[in-house]
Amino acid sequence: MIKLNVLTQNSKVLSGKLNGYIFLLSLLHCLFFVSQNTLAQSVTASATLDTSVILIGQQTKLHLVVTHPKSVQVQFPFVPDTLSKVEFISKSKIDTISSDANNITRKQDITLTAWDSGFYVITPFIFTYKNAGDTTSLTAETQPLLLTTNVIPVDTTKAIRDITKPIAVGLSWQEMLPYIIAALAVLLIIGIIYYLKKRKVAVPEIITPKIPLKPAHIIAIAELDALKEEKLWQQGYFKQYHTRITEIIRAYLGRRYNVDALEMTTDDILNHSQINHLNNTNFEQVKYLLQLADLAKFAKAQPLALENEQALSSAYLFVDATKEQTVKHAEKKEESNV
């Protein structure tokens, strides 16, 4: 009997504790529910139209506004290109329009239109957000909107008329001003050029005295002397030796007879009218020099010592025999007095 009473008392104690735990859990659940509702209600979203009645093709603006605590992360809704035959033309960036210590209000403007008459329901826009320290995605919706699109009123009692022609509008001074400025600028430039030409002072021409060129035979003799001092053929440089002789003679012919001998072949030089009319001795001399040089250059011939000496000697004789004869001024004066 005593054991039964003890068990009964223990069961009452356990029952009381269990009821206390249930009450505490219920209270916590209520507090959590109230806090969630409070946070959920702290995020508010709205959508408004500048005007809900437009004509076909006319534009109006839709304003999306959301107010939320600074600790809450809010994602603006995705705006499609069209929605229920309403075309969304453009949307602005998201701007903050007000802010205080706890809340922030942000706004986005959307330009829209419709191309058919009727009534169009713009369904609610859904904002998603997350509370601080919580990964649960919550939503806040705007109210639906009604857009009315009307056609342009037409008075059917009046007769149909042609389209009005464009009205001719004269040019204003603002439109003519750029052309006037451009014309004045051109006239100013022309005037400056004319003035400068009139005022231009003649600069005396500086005449640089020309240095008289050395006679062709003087240049050739000096080059032959330099070649003689180099002693090329004595060192076995037969090709270089005869090449230099012919280059000196070719350059001499160019200066003396105005023949482009440096760019001509041996046959072309010998057939040239200026060279072909030389006396027989001079012609044979230049022919011997050119042909001997060709053998040394192209046939890799090695002329004998006598031929090498003869080539240089012939070059001296040819230059001396064909040099341009100059008469001194004093001699001319004496001849004129006679």
Does position 331 have pLDDT exceeding 50, yes or no?
no
Per-residue pLDDT band for 24 (boundaries 50, 70, 90) equals: low
> 229-256 pLDDT, tens per residue?
988 888 888 888 888 988 998 898 888 8
Does position 135 have pLDDT exceeding 90, yes or no?
no
In the chain, domain spans: 44-150, 216-322
> 250-293 pLDDT, tens per residue?
898 888 888 888 888 888 888 887 787 788 888 888 888 888 88
| CA geometry: angle 209, 213, 216, nearest 5 deg | 170
Cβ(268)–Cβ(284) under 8 Å? no
Per-residue pLDDT band for 6 (boundaries 50, 70, 90) equals: very low
Does position 334 have pLDDT exceeding 70, yes or no?
no
Q: What proportion of the chain, given as a percentage, has pLDDT over 70?
A: 80
Per-residue pLDDT band for 102 (boundaries 50, 70, 90) equals: confident
pLDDT at 171: 77
In degrees and rounded to multiples of 5, residue 214 shows phi and psi of -70, 145
Residue 203, CA atoms < 13 Å, CB-side half-sphere: 3
Full DSSP string of 55-108: ETT-EEEEEEEEEEETTSEEEPPP--SEETTEEEEEEPPPEEEEE-SSEEEEEE
- Whole-number mean pLDDT of the chain? 80
> 138-187 pLDDT, tens per residue?
999 999 999 999 988 777 787 777 877 888 777 788 888 888 999 999 99
| CA geometry: angle 12, 14, 19, nearest 5 deg | 95
Reported pTM: 0.38
Does position 327 have pLDDT exceeding 60, yes or no?
no
pLDDT at 143: 94
**CATH number, span 44-150:** 2.60.40.740
